[in-house]
């Protein structure tokens, strides 16, 4: 797993004061991934061919083809 994904996982835990524990919020994790992908498109979309954006996004997250 790539370091960026690890960071997003860590940021997706929410602390529950009532139970004095934390839990993994899947929705927050998914939103974080979508935001990362949108940022890549915003940053590189105008400068590289769109068929290469998928490759760039996979590389960013360390996903093998």
- What pLDDT does residue 21 have? 93
Residue 60: strand, helix, or coil: helix
Q: Rounded to an integer, what is the distance from CA 27 to the centroid of its chain?
A: 12
47 against 54, higher pLDDT:
54
Q: Return the H-helix or E-strand segment holding 43.
A: helix 26-44
Residue 45 half-sphere exposure toward CB, CA atoms < 13 A: 7
Q: What is the pLDDT of residues 14-39, one digit of tens each?
A: 998 999 999 999 999 999 998 888 78
Note whether 32 and 6 are within 8 A (CB): no
Which of 17-21, 38-42, 61-65 bottoms out in mean pLDDT, i.e. has the lowest? Answer: 61-65
């Amino acid at each position: 797993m790539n370091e960026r994904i690890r960071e997003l996982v860590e940021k997706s835990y929410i602390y529950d004061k009532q139970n004095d524990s934390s839990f993994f919020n899947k929705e927050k994790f998914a939103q974080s991934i979508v935001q990362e992908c949108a940022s890549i498109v915003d940053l590189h979309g105008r400068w590289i061919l769109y068929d290469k954006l998928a490759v760039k996004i996979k590389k960013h997250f360390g996903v093998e083809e």
